[in-house]
Amino acid sequence: MSTRLAGKVCLIAGTTGIARASAVLFGSEGASIVAIGRSREHAAELQAELDRAGVPAATQIDDLTSEGAAARTLQCALERFGRVDVLFHVAGISGRSFGDGPLHECTDAGWDAVMTTNVRAMMQLNRACIVHWLAAQRSGTILNMASVLGFSFSIEYFGTVAYAAAKAAIIAMSQNAAATYAKHGIRVNVIAPALVDTPMARRATLDPAILEFLKRKQPLTQKPLTDRDCAEAALYLCSDAAAAVTGIVLPVDGGWCVSG
């Protein structure tokens, strides 16, 4: 049995898709898991799956955009396991239903919804963990979820300006933090997937034109990536195998960034 995260407490923001796959994989590698999500149903499903696998775990129902959610989430982990070693922040939204789109169509409400959920909430939970680690004089690991759309655009099918701006902001925030806190033993990295078959991406993964496009744009897979593809990459960056790695952006993209 592999134990690449043995003894570590991993806090995961999200309970579906990549977050769920990562929670299950991290648990199988010896980690204790604290997961936070807005859906009681999804949290219960994840808790049951982890319980069946014998993984020490706690799930919390909360909206990370709400006042005090970051502090409540960290406190949940500390009360349950006494510490946090890893934060993997996955949770986010696409924003289309809120008014995101090309710049000339993006509404203020769409912009604010995407930035609040995808950037501010992530910043607040990152900040809470870093403040805790600094006060406790402990090292820690953060992995944030961006997207290839933050730097490798595809406007024909994925022309949402707020989403792209948010993912680029996540990269800048993470690299700034990596530079600031490396001397304290705190690592901060970014994973940037292309199109992954998750509940949030259902619009795209069910579109025949996009699936045809992926045969050229993601030539390694010629179809959407799996949440397990991303979880495996996340496992490396969250484990001690990456102890000397900080400030990187790792595309998990099936060849997206090197394809026309």
Who's near 94: CB < 8 A, 6+ residues apart? 100, 160, 163, 200, 201, 203
Return the bridge partners of 9, or none.
32
User: What is the torsional sign of CA 136, 141, 145, 147?
Assistant: positive
* Spatial CA neighbour of 141 closest among 174, 115, 110: 174
Write down the residue that tokens 């239903």 correspond to. 97
Q: Is position 157 annotated as part of the catalytic site?
A: no
- Of 157, 163, 181, 236, the catalytic one is 163
In the numeric block, which tokens belong to residue 113? 């919804």
- Residue 80 makes CB contacts below 8 A (sequence gap 6+) with 32, 34, 58
Residues assigned a catalytic role? 163
